[in-house]
Structure 1
Amino acid sequence: MKLVGYARVSTVEQNLDLQISALRAAGCSAIFADQGVSGADFHRPGLRKALRQLSDGDMLAVWRLDRLGRSLVDLIQTVNGLSKRGCEFRSLTEKIDTSSSGGRLLFHVMGAMAEFERSIISERTKAGMEAAKARGARIGRRPSMTSEQTEMARRAVDIDLVSVPEVAASYGVHPKTLARLLRGGIC
């Protein structure tokens, strides 16, 4: 059995050393990594390379569950894909090892708990935004242009026949932003 490690950090400023040290200590013969890649990102070249190294009877190891994926669906799909290939999965921090029935059960329970925690955080964020809106706070980015500026830009394009890129440059906005505002978008 070959133990292959995978490590990931979301930003380039973060360091992989802790994960790589733990994976080496666990006995990984090869370790692949993605740096500056979100767990939600489908394009993870390091993970793809790690998965290609695995064959029947091998095991993929990660330092923590969330290093493999951000959602329960993603985690389960990846681990089920490993299982179909005759491979197992190990998470060092949560001490999950799918080579045993207890490890498979624990994997599903931990994944569900992580998904539950993320959904609670999301619900709290949405509730906070709704409360702020009810108090009259403006949510989101500030408008690129005031309604007066948009109207002046509209006149410049419609009446003075100035091109949208020229008018956009004069207001310091992207031509697509100006075009959206002129179509009646929020300003």
Structure 2
Amino acid sequence: MRTAPGRYLENRGHRPFSRSALDCMRKGDALCVWKLDRLGRSTKDVLMIAEDLHSHGIALRILTGNYFAKGEGKFFFTTMVTFAELERDMVVERTRAGLDAAKAQGRTGGRPTVITEDVLTVAKARGGKGESVTAIAEALGVSRATLYRHIG
């Protein structure tokens, strides 16, 4: 029985697509990824997947770089994987810092709410009179889900 190259991904929390894509690969195939950091979440993951592919005779093609399987190429590949993980971690850190700075300035992300205090007061008053949520939502021009989210 042939062992599929996706065996490393079992119980690793990868998306089902990654696992199924690797399970379909055969000797002589090539796995193409846009950037090295798209192959896995950590240096260990990328290295294990690359080794798994290599042991099954499957080529790895990184569209924004080169991959060499032997000798110095393996060293440079390992180094590039490490830098890709560092770059990813730095992007996450900068994004988190930016979101925290925006929050400290009183800005929040996401779509602006359509429910103002006045609309909420009207909705509660109409609900108190026994009007249905559907009728209130239609009259105020909002969805039922929005009303439920704000009224509780």
Q: TM-score, normalised by structure 1?
A: 0.55
Read off the aligned partner of 2:101 and give its amino acid letter. A
Distance 1:77 1:169 in 2: 55
Displacement of 1:181: 0.9
Q: Indicate conservation of the 8 Å contact 1:91/1:97, yes or no.
A: no
Of residues 104, 109, 131, the one that matches 1:134 is 104
Q: Indicate conservation of the 8 Å contact 2:37/2:88, yes or no.
A: no
5+ unaligned residues in a row in structure 1: which ranges?
1-40
In the alignment, which residue of structure 2 is the partner of 1:96?
67
In the alignment, which residue of structure 1 is the partner of 2:87?
117
Distance 1:59 1:102 in 2: 23
Q: Indicate conservation of the 8 Å contact 1:62/1:68, yes or no.
A: no
Read off the aligned partner of 2:115 and give its amino acid letter. M
Change in 2 beyond 3 A, CA 1:138/1:91: closer
Question: Would you say 1:176 and 2:148 are equivalent positions?
Answer: no
In the alignment, which residue of structure 2 is the partner of 1:16?
none
Distance 1:182 1:80 in 2: 55
Distance 1:155 1:77 in 2: 61
Structure 1 residues 87-121: Cα deviation after superposition (integer angstroms, max 9, x where no partner)? 342335422133x2443433332222122212222
Distance 2:89 2:140 in 1: 40
Change in 2 beyond 3 A, CA 1:143/1:93: closer
Question: Would you say 1:79 and 2:50 are equivalent positions?
Answer: yes
The CA RMSD over aligned residues, in Å, is: 3.3
Displacement of 1:52: 1.6
Displacement of 1:179: 0.6
Aligned residues: 136
Distance 2:66 2:73 in 1: 8
5+ unaligned residues in a row in structure 2: which ranges?
1-13
Change in 2 beyond 3 A, CA 1:86/1:179: same
Q: Indicate conservation of the 8 Å contact 2:37/2:84, yes or no.
A: no
Question: Would you say 1:108 and 2:75 are equivalent positions?
Answer: no
2:24 is paired with a residue whose SS is helix
In the alignment, which residue of structure 2 is the partner of 1:160?
129
Q: TM-score, normalised by structure 2?
A: 0.65
Q: Indicate conservation of the 8 Å contact 1:62/1:92, yes or no.
A: yes
Distance 1:156 1:72 in 2: 54
Displacement of 1:70: 6.6
Distance 2:30 2:92 in 1: 30
Structure 1 residues 157-184: Cα deviation after superposition (integer angstroms, max 9, x where no partner)? 2x1222222222333332122111111x
Change in 2 beyond 3 A, CA 1:67/1:118: closer
